[in-house]
Homo-oligomer: A and B are copies of this chain.
């Protein structure tokens, strides 16, 4: 089971590096590390999370490098930037299409698969005349941990 997961994330990283090669984006040690961290990460980290996580391996790395490369990854389509209510953006390695359920108490983000809302896009296109490119949806609530804490 975890064996499978290791293989999965290994492949995902390899695919991501291939994408970079094909797009002509240089694969620097920093980029490799940031991607690796994003692929493995089950949390949806902020730029600062990534910066802190890698400062052991790259003591000289600049915050700007993290931001620069997250922008590069986003432009290439490897990474999605999530802007929730809180102060800083969160970054999500793009895999299959899924939505997020966010705990308003502790900030935990859980992935949540749901068959596409294509009809929403179609209706929006029809009503507004826009050329629709994509949509975004999240569900907010309280996770089980926080629900239990409230009882005490």
Write the chain B residue with the least CB distance to A124: B139
A129 / chain B contacts, CB cutoff of 8 Å: 143-144
Are B125 and A141 within 8 A (Cβ)? yes
Are B133 and A136 within 8 A (Cβ)? no
- Most chain B CB atoms below 10 A, which of A101, A123, A144: A101
Interface string of A124-140 (1 = CB under 8 A from B): 11011111111111111
Are B144 and A140 within 8 A (Cβ)? no
Copies of this chain, complex-wide, total 2
Are B140 and A135 within 8 A (Cβ)? yes
Write the chain B residue with the least CB distance to A84: B83
A123 / chain B contacts, CB cutoff of 8 Å: 112, 114
Q: For chain A, residues 11 to 44, give those with C-beta under 8 angstroms from any C-beta of chain B.
A: none
Q: Which residue of B81, B121, B140, B142 is within 8 Å of A139 (Cβ)?
A: B121
Give me 15 other A-B pairs in contact (C-beta within 8 A), A99-B120, A112-B124 excluded. A83-B83, A83-B84, A83-B85, A110-B130, A112-B123, A112-B127, A112-B128, A114-B120, A128-B143, A130-B143, A131-B141, A131-B147, A132-B140, A134-B140, A137-B137
